[in-house]
Amino acid sequence: MIALTLAEVVAATGGRLETVGTSATESTVVDGPVTTDSREVVPGGIFVAKRGEFDDGHRFAPGAVERGAALLIVERPLDLPVPQVVVADSVDALGALATEVVARVRALGRLRIVGVTGSNGKTTTKNLLRTVLEAVGPTVAARKSYNNEVGAPTTMLELTEQTEYLVAEMGASGVGEIARLIRMARPDVGIVLKVGLAHAGEFGGIEKTVQAKSEMVTDLLATDVAVLNADDPRVVPMADVTAARVVWFGLGERADVRATDVVVHARGTSFTVTVPGGESARVRFSVLGEHHVMNALAAIAASLELGVPLATVVSGLERVTLAEQWRMQVMGGRDDITVINDAYNASPDSVAAALKTLAQVKRPEGRTIAVLGEMSELGEFSGEEHDRIGLLAVRLGVSQLVVVGEGARRLHITAINEGSWDGESAYVETADEAFELVTSTVRPGDTVLVKSSNSAGLRHLGDRLGEWFA
């Protein structure tokens, strides 16, 4: 974090300063990393004691002090020998502090901000942008999927006076949440990737999901840029609710930044990108899956709007070999057995894309095995969407479907009803059972996909299979 006095932290958060038992004063300066996880505190760091659904961060404040915290942001005074800023709500205070830091760095005149949202692809696009922009200037981007009311401001607080680019991943589970993040750091370039059924149960329907994602562009200024998916009929109308200049990306004729000649293979995806002005380039993209081409196009469009030359953008994209751990992560290799671990998240769109990729990259002599768990947070759409994936698996000719857990069982039943009644679809209760089934039936040359929502925990099964066949 940039250097602030305790008085400035108090002013930003609306709290009050407690320094009893310490030598700190209002003029004491703090500039360490900010975290809500006491295990991540480093000497000189700032610990925000956040109340959670199942626990209270105040319980872990002593551990933060032991690790060298220089400041605690708390909702009640604690008997600990470090200065404390006492606030009404620690999450609100975290956001307010981020807002102040972003404003101060903005005022220096060099910071440009890219906001990324969408039902799928946020983390991949953020990582692609980080790789491209780091080549041209100091860049801050979220670790992992830090995109909510805690993760996003924590990322913003990593800004320094030298930062030139902030890539802010902005997720939501309800209307108003992206707008809240936008108020902390209004983007110069706002990206909307796709609007699908991911988290639709939490939002209360697809219309609410569209409304929430639209918040990325509704407050942009005429001098800003909205980078929108020209191929998504739910994203296209967002051009009518923004004052910003719109840049379209996609595969169709409407796109300003367009991909053609897309070729998918086991080592990634290659495509030709054409950009405004007619310049084009061949991109040899090592991230597996045709669906990631759209994320690459969004990153290209945003980077060009920030003034990065196309050759530099392409070079950056080609350096990326993995979108993120547990996202289309290629593992295995023994006996030509490939394991694709894509089990960090799962929406109907991303599962469909992963299954299509599985069919595209299989070896001619090998089979395809899809290990699928529950797609969570779909609400009223859960049943029909699991049905749809079961149908798709059969129609794509997946050799062996392994369905894991009660939440995904309907997918298995649908596959049987569609014709996979002779053992092509198997149902197991646990990841351990799935491991035993796959390892006992896999053959040399097979390709295995592991895909589920994070809550199903199959990412660890994917790791286990990848190590087993390494």
The answer to whether the annotation marks 123 as part of a ligand binding site is yes
Alpha-carbon distance values, 1 to 64, 93, 100, 315, 458 (Å)? 17, 15, 11, 30, 36
Structure tokens at 99: 């807002």
DSSP calls for 35-66: ES-GGG--TT-EEE--B-SS-BGGGGHHHHHH
d(CA 341, CA 345): 11
Spatial distance between the Cα atoms of 254 and 248, rounded to a whole number of angstroms = 7
Q: Are 131 and 141 in contact (CB under 8 A)?
A: no
Backbone phi and psi for residue 35, each to the nearest 5 degrees, phi listed first = -150, 155
Query: Do the annotations mark residue 118 as ligand-binding?
Result: yes
**HSE of 75 in the Cβ direction (CA atoms, 13 Å)?**
15
Distance CA 167, CA 88 (A): 29
User: Does 124 appear as a known binding residue?
Assistant: yes
The answer to whether 32 and 73 are in contact (CB under 8 A) is no
Does 122 show up as a binding residue in the annotation? yes
- The answer to whether 454 is a known ligand-binding residue is no
The closest alpha carbon to 323, from 228, 185, 193, belongs to 193
Residue 369 parent element (H or E)? strand 368-372
Question: Residue 240 is inside which H or E element, if any?
Answer: none
Buried b (16+ CB within 10 A) or exposed e, 328-362: bbbbbeeeebbbbbbbbbbbbbbbbbbbbbbbbbb
Q: How many CA atoms lie within 13 A of 115 on its CB side?
A: 34
Closest CA to 168 of 179, 151, 325: 151
Cα end-to-end span (Å), the chain: 41
427 vs 403: CA distance, rounded Å? 5
Q: Distance between CA 113 and CA 115 in Å, rounded?
A: 7
- Binding site for ATP, by residue number, is 118-124
- Binding site, by residue number, is 118-124
